[in-house]
Amino acid sequence: MPKLISLLQLAFKQAARYRTRSLLTILGVASAMFLFTAVETMQDALRRFTQGSADDTTLIVYRENRFCPASSRLPEHYAASIREVPGVREVIPVQIVVNNCGASLDVITFRGVPPENLVRFNPDMNVIAGSIADWESRGDGALVGRNFAARRALRPGDTFEAVGVRVHVAGIIDSQLPQDNNVAYVHLPFLQQASRSGLGIVTQFNVRVASNDILEEVAKAIDDRFRTDTIRTNTRPEKAFFAQTAKDMIELIAFTRWLGLGAVAAVVALVGNTLALIARSRVRESAVFQTLGFSRRAIGWLTLSEGVLLGLAGGVIGVAGAYVFFSWRHFTLGNEGITLAIEPRLSVALTAVVVVGVLSALASAWPAVLAAKRSIVSSLRNS
C-alpha cells in the first residue's frame, strides 16, 4: 500500500509538470463526461417514467383514438359506470389543459381535479409554501409544482395566465413523482369553464384497482362497458399509457444514446492519446527511474496511474457540472400533456464517475504496457 500511494503521488507530480497538456486533457474529458452524464440523466428519467412495478395499481381511461388532451372529451358521468366494474376501488375525473401537444421543452400543464379528491389523487404531495386551505377556499386557486414555480419565479399570492387560464398561486408543492413537480393543480369545475370544455366533460379518469394482478382484466372490462356507446374508451395501465402517449419523446431521448457513445469514445481517445504522447516523451525519464531501482512493472503502473488521475479529474468535473446544471435548470420534456422531468440522481452521477475511471484505465493500459516493456538500454538508445 505505501508503494502504491508513492506511485500515485509521483504520478500526480508528473501530470502537474506538464500543466497545459494535462489541463487540456482534463477539460476534454470533462466536456465528454458532461455530455455522457446529461444523456444518462435523460435515459434514467425515461426508465423511471415508463417502467412499471408491482406497486402500480392505476389505470388511465382516455377517449379512444385520442391525439391530444384537447381531443379527449369524456362525459363525467362515466365515473359512476366505472365504479361498478369489479376490482375498481376509486375513480377520479381529471381535466388536462396544455399549451402545446407536441414535444416541447417548455410545457405548461393544468390538471383539474375535484377538490375533495386532491389528496387521494396525489397522496405523496407535500405543500412546501402556501396552504391547501387557501387552495380549497378559492375557485381559481392553483397548487404549483416546485420546478414549475422555479421556472416561472412564482410564489404564493402571485397570479399568472397561460392557455387562456388565469389562476392564483395558493401554494407550492413537492412530490416524490417528478412529473407532479411540473404541473399546476386547479379545481375541476374552474378548469372546465376556463378552458371552455364545459361542465360535465373531462379529459380522462384515473382508476385505482384492488391489485396489480387484475390491471389488464379491469381495463378490458371498462372498455367493454362503453364499447357500444357513442364515445368509446381506451384504458391502459398508467406506465403503459405514458409510454404510448410519449412515444415521440421516447424516440427523441433514445437517439441521445448515440451521443453518449460518442462521449465514451472521446474519453478513450483523449486519455489514450495523451498517455501515448507522455510515454513517448519520457523515454529518458523511464530509463532514469529504472536506474534508480524502479521495476518495469512500477513504470507501467506509474503511466497507468497518471492516465487514471487525468481521466478521473476531468470526469468528476464534468459529472459534477452536469449534476449542478440539471438541478439548477429543472428541464422538462412534454408531449400530449405528459411531462417528463429531467432530474439528476446521485446514483447516475456515481455510475458516470465509475465509468470514466474504467475508461481511463482501459485507455491507459496499452501505453502503460509499452512503457513497462522498454529496457534501460533501449530507452537510452531511443532517447
226 and 81 both lie in a single domain: yes
25 and 97 both lie in a single domain: no
90 and 201 both lie in a single domain: yes
Sole residue written with cell 435515459 = 43
72 and 216 both lie in a single domain: yes
Q: Give average pLDDT by consecutive 10-residue segment, the chain, 383 residues.
A: 66 76 86 90 79 68 81 89 91 87 73 85 83 89 89 90 90 83 90 86 90 87 90 83 63 74 82 75 62 70 83 92 86 69 87 90 82 60 54
Q: Spell out the SS3 assignment of 324-340.
A: HHHHHHCCEEEECCEEE
Q: Residue 6 has which C-alpha cell?
A: 508513492
d(CA 56, CA 183) in angstroms, rounded, equals 21
pLDDT at residue 2 in the model: 64
Tell me if 145 is assigned to some domain: yes
Residue 104 and residue 338 in contact, taking contact as beta carbons nearer than 8 Å: no
Tell me if 55 is assigned to some domain: no
259 and 364 both lie in a single domain: yes
Taking the alpha carbons of 40, 43, 45, 48 in that order, is the dihedral positive or negative? negative
10 and 110 both lie in a single domain: no
pLDDT at residue 54 in the model: 47
C-alpha distance from residue 293 to each of 4, 23, 286, 300, 316 (Å): 15, 30, 11, 14, 34
d(CA 363, CA 285) in angstroms, rounded, equals 22
pLDDT at residue 224 in the model: 92
d(CA 171, CA 169) in angstroms, rounded, equals 6
Pairing of the two strands 338-341 and 332-335: antiparallel
Tell me if 60 is assigned to some domain: no
227 and 277 both lie in a single domain: no
CA-wise closest residue to 312 among 373, 260, 270 = 270
Q: If you compute the radius of gyration of the chain from its CA atoms, what whole number of angstroms results?
A: 29
Tell me if 209 is assigned to some domain: yes
CA-wise closest residue to 17 among 281, 298, 290, 269 = 281
d(CA 306, CA 312) in angstroms, rounded, equals 10
CA-wise closest residue to 120 among 92, 97, 140 = 92
Rounded to 5 degrees, what angle do the CA atoms 329, 334, 337 make? 135
220 and 80 both lie in a single domain: yes
223 and 78 both lie in a single domain: yes
72 and 218 both lie in a single domain: yes
Tell me if 180 is assigned to some domain: yes
Sole residue written with cell 392564483 = 168
Q: Which domain holds residue 119?
A: 65-231
Tell me if 240 is assigned to some domain: no
**Domain total of the chain:** 2
211 and 80 both lie in a single domain: yes
Domain boundary among 190, 206, 231: 231
15 and 80 both lie in a single domain: no
